[in-house]
Structures are given as structure tokens and as C-alpha cells.
Chain A
């Protein structure tokens, strides 16, 4: 487990220096029991031409109960593969994953999953979608639906209990998907870029909803995102992966105090964390794909008449 080396000095309270309240917060977090333990996790994909692609290598991670962990990284770093292995939807090539001390070997009800696409069952009403997992785990339909209604009340959608998914907006669908995953009472909620299909306003609202749900329920969240602001807004800690192969670059402890609110985006802690994430993720991308991809903007040939300037 390699946390970022964070010198523990006093002021100023930014990313590099962890001030007292932040340190105390993380100490409390780490004192809680381990929810998810990942050791030496590796994943190798066999290509069609017989070659191999290393998607993940030597990932180590420990998250604690009720922690909010975000996973970020450049495209191709295997963050989606990572969360799918945690969910048991993808096999791992090496290493171990255990939830609450029990090794993971396939999908299970102890890990709920929310996908990027809206994966609600279109043939079921909202209520029966939320009740689905409960019914699958042996509850009678009556009990499952009663419990589903309570979850719908929690996310504020009880009015839509008898609507079908296609009648809901994207944000509402994703709230139902979260309720559906939570209704199983999982230990861990895995979320694979759940808000990336939403417009900016819905996304901000959904982030607030998610924080609210997370505060009220005993749940550990592993949240994949490519939106760095979203990661800083939501996370206790941010796991930064690097690409080719996917390895842990750094594990950042976010110093932004809780409870979080949108006004914090301008605070020095937020900006410092954001700047650090940018430094970790974007230069690597520019170096890797730079010349072939975009390179210098001068390469664009002029096609407009001289004197016909727009700026």
C-alpha cells in the first residue's frame, strides 16, 4: 500500500502539506476496518494476434469502511478494467481482491455496481427495478417492493415508482440505478463513470445527491471518473493510475474539508489538488501521444484569405 508521501507540516493547508484537521480526518478513516483489499492485482489481455497487452500491473490498494475513493487516470490506464475486476465481471490474471476479508471470485451481492450507461431494465417499472436484486436474493415480491419504495423515498423518486425507465431523465435513471444497487445492502458500491453521460448541471446535482446518500448509508464507494474536478469534489482519497501498463501512480489524500460544497472549488486546497492531478495525468498524455496526435498548432495550413482575420 503506497500512499503518497505527504509531509505532515502545519500551514498552509494545501495538497502537499497536510494540516492538523485533515490529518485527523484521515487517521479516523484509516482506523476503520478494511472494506476492500487489493494486492498485486494484474490483468493481461491476450490479443487476437497472439500478443499480450498488460492492462493492469501490481495494483495494491486498501480502502476502509465508509471511504469514498475515486479512481482517475489517462485513457487506456485500465480504470474500467480495474472496477470490473472488483465487481467480478472480469477475471484477473494475478493477485487477490478481497471484500471484508472474503476473496472475490465473480460477481456478488456484496458489491453493487452502477454503470455509465443506464442499465435499468426497460420492461420493469422503477419500483420493480429497485426490487429486482432483492427478489433475486430470495425476498418475496411483496417485501422486495415495500423495501424498494423506501429506497425510492430516499432518492426522492417515490412519485415515479410506477413509471417505466424510458419516461425518466438521464439523472433520474442514474438515481434509480444507484438505489437499485444500494437496495442489495452491498458493502461496496462500484461506480464506473456513472455521471459522464449527463449534462454539466445534472452532473453537479448528482454529485450532491451521491454525497448525501454516502453520508447517510454505511457504504464504501469506489468511483471511476475522468473528470478531475468531480474526483476532488467527491473523494476522500484519489487513486491515480498511469497508462501502458496500468499501474498506481499515486494515492492522493484530498485535503478539501468535509462537508463539501461547490464553493470549495476556488479554495487553495481544491486548486492545489486539482493542479497535482493535472500534473500527474496530462503531461504524460501529451508526451505519449503528442507528436502523432496534435503536436503544434502551427501545422494547420492557412486556407482563409490574408486580411480576413477573425481575431
Chain B
């Protein structure tokens, strides 16, 4: 059956065309020219296509960035002064709005003085890809020129330690509690409602409190990561644990497994591959709390590096630092995924 389209207001003037008859049951469907559907059961792509698309997913945004940076007719709202001429307030390297620059050129030509010269430029906060690449290399290999600045690898290492301790402390409590909640409805009902509530409190809101309790150095930063991760972790892992095939548990019960032994020997191994995947995702969340956490108390780690470089207007270094976080994140995830395949050969079909 086909729904009759609602008459549109413009139809009112013209006599309404007879509505198409509803298709008769049993009438033959139009032959040939089957309409292809873009959406169907999602099947894995052939390996070459997969690789090509993966590369493309990185190259497309990179290409867009390069186009905006290198094609002078795209955007480029400023003019970088190469020769200030006789304009007093300009100096080489300065970026001035196009309109202001044109005004000065016109003024100079009417006054007969030397006109300033310049080339189209983007704002200072959008460096070109090659500048970021160079910055990436220099920040990683050479000490910074400023005496009070910290080296990018050193600040990164500090950040990684914060993440590591925050995530480890969260997991030590969160994973067992999550598994218990998933395996035992009474414990779940006793803990999950309040966790559900606390989960909505933004972790950074605890910043001042944590500084008061734990001081101004790494303590409160680790605490923010723990607060940001723990509550999600309990709920996510409890839900994962609830999806254990109940038949596996029943089979173990008929063979005499009970309580903690049942959890250790059946529930945990059964959820382990999925739990491992959950942990990978949660680790990503821990990174997202990092920047806020590092602003609390004395600014430190990668955040300190980024804010300091931004203050010097070294935006190429800022981008480099942000990219490094991305690289570390994706490298960790790929490494953990490969490790997971090693650890859980039996779960490869699901992975």
C-alpha cells in the first residue's frame, strides 16, 4: 500500500489529479532496473579498498588544510608585510587586514611615497602543514630556545604518567566493582543508581576540592582522571558483564562452580575480550580529561607546554603538541588491539 501524498497548497488552484491507485496485491513488480540500496547489511570491505579509504580519511582533511594554506585565493584574509615601504606603523613580518593594507597602498600612491609590499597570509593561529611538520620535528628533537620552556618529550612523559596512574587507580577499583555489579543484581542495585548520579557531575568541577585535599602538584590531576573515568568504567563494565551468555554460567553451576570461584573461572574469562575493548575506549576518555586535569593546581605536562607556546604565539608548536597526543592515542590503541588479538585468540571472530 502506498500513502497518498498530502496536497500541497499550490495544488488548490488546479483541479486535483486523480490519486494513483493503491498497488493491487499480487500485481507484478516492475521488472528490471532494481533500485540499489546504499544501506544494507554492513560487510567487511576488500583489504585494498579498506587501506585506500583509511589513507583517504587522513589525506582528505590534510588536503583541505594544505589547500587553505597554500592556495592564496582560498581564504587568506590578511596580508603579511614583506616591505613596509614608508608606512611608519608597519614592519616586515607583520600581518595586517587586507582592507587596512589596501588603504595604506592607496595613500602611499596618492602621496607619492614608497608603497608597502606584502603577500596574502592566513592568521597566525593557522600555520601551514609544513610549518607544523618542522615544528613537530624540532620540538621532539631539540631543546626549546626559551630558557623557561620545557621540552615537549619531557612534558609528554609527565602527562603519560598522570594518565597511567589515573587510569590504573580507577581500574583497580572500577573493574572489580563493575564485574561484581554485572554478576550480582543486589550489589548492582545498591551501587549503580548513585554512580549514575555522580557520573553526571563534571569531573573538572571537583578541581578546587581536589586541590584543597591533595595539594597543587600531581595529586589533584590524577584524582580528576580517576573521577572522570571511574564512574563510567563501573557502569560500562557492569553492562558488559551482564551480557555474558547465561548458559555458560548455568553450565558452570551444574559443574559445582560457586560465587567468587564462578566469577574468577567463568564470568571474568567470558567477558575478558569485551572488557579489554571497553578498557581501550575508557583509556581514550581518560586522555580527554587530561588537559583539564593538568590546568588544576600548577599547570604541568603537555598542557603547560601548549599554553606556554600559545602565549609565545608559536602555534606551529601548539599544533605539533596536539598532533603528538593524537599519535600517542592511536598508537596505544593499535598496540593494545594487536595485543588483544594475541591474548584472546578465541575471540578473533568478534574482534
Contacts and interface: CB of A to CB of B under 8 A. Distances in A.
Interface of A: 87-89, 107-109, 111-113, 115, 117, 119, 121-124, 132-133, 136-137, 164-166, 177, 180-181, 184, 301, 303
Contact of B253 (A107, A117, A180): A107
Given A164-B345, A164-B346, A121 B266 contact: yes
A117 to B, nearest CB: 5
A122 B351 CA distance: 14
Interface string B310-348: 000000000000000000000000000000000011110
B272 interface: yes
A119 B251 contact: yes
B256 interface: yes
B265 interface: yes
Given A121-B269, A132-B255, A133-B256, 13 more contacts: A88-B254, A107-B254, A108-B254, A109-B256, A117-B245, A121-B270, A136-B255, A136-B257, A137-B256, A164-B345, A166-B346, A177-B251, A301-B26
B64 interface: no
B245 to A, nearest CB: 8
Contact of A89 (B25, B250, B270): B250
B248 interface: yes
B14 interface: no
A136 B254 contact: no
A136 B347 contact: no
A136 B264 CA distance: 12
Nearest to A108: B256
Q: Determine the main DSSP class of A at the interface with B.
A: loop
A122 B346 contact: yes
For B256, B344, B346, the residue with the greatest tally of chain A CB atoms inside 10 Å of its CB is: B256
Contacts of B265: 132, 136
B252 interface: yes
A119 B248 contact: yes
A83 to B, nearest CB: 11
18 contacts: A87-B250, A87-B254, A88-B254, A109-B254, A109-B256, A112-B254, A117-B247, A119-B251, A121-B251, A122-B346, A122-B347, A136-B255, A164-B346, A166-B346, A177-B251, A181-B254, A303-B25, A303-B26
A108 B253 CA distance: 7
A113 B251 contact: yes
Contact of A115 (B247, B270, B345): B247
B261 interface: yes
Contact of B272 (A107, A115, A123, A303): A123
B349 interface: yes
Nearest 7 interchain pairs by C-beta: A133-B255, A303-B26, A119-B251, A113-B254, A107-B253, A123-B269, A136-B256
A89 B256 contact: no
Nearest to A87: B254
A112 to B, nearest CB: 7
Nearest to B348: A166
Contacts of B248: 119, 121
Contact of B250 (A109, A115, A164, A177): A115
Contact of A123 (B245, B253, B270, B349): B270
Nearest to A167: B346
Interface in B261-294: 261, 265-266, 269-270, 272
Contacts of A164: 345-346
B250 A119 contact: yes
A124 B346 CA distance: 9
A192 B254 CA distance: 13
B247 A119 contact: yes
Interface in B235-249: 245, 247-248
Nearest to B24: A303
Contacts of A137: 255-256
A136 B250 contact: no
Contacts of A115: 247, 250-251
A87 B257 CA distance: 14
Contacts of B272: 123
A181 B255 CA distance: 7
Nearest to B266: A121
Nearest to A111: B254
Which residue, A109, A119, A180, has most C-beta atoms of chain B within 10 A?
A: A119
Contacts of B250: 87, 89, 107, 113, 115, 119
A132 B252 contact: yes
Contacts of A184: 255-256
Contacts of B255: 109, 112, 132-133, 136-137, 180-181, 184
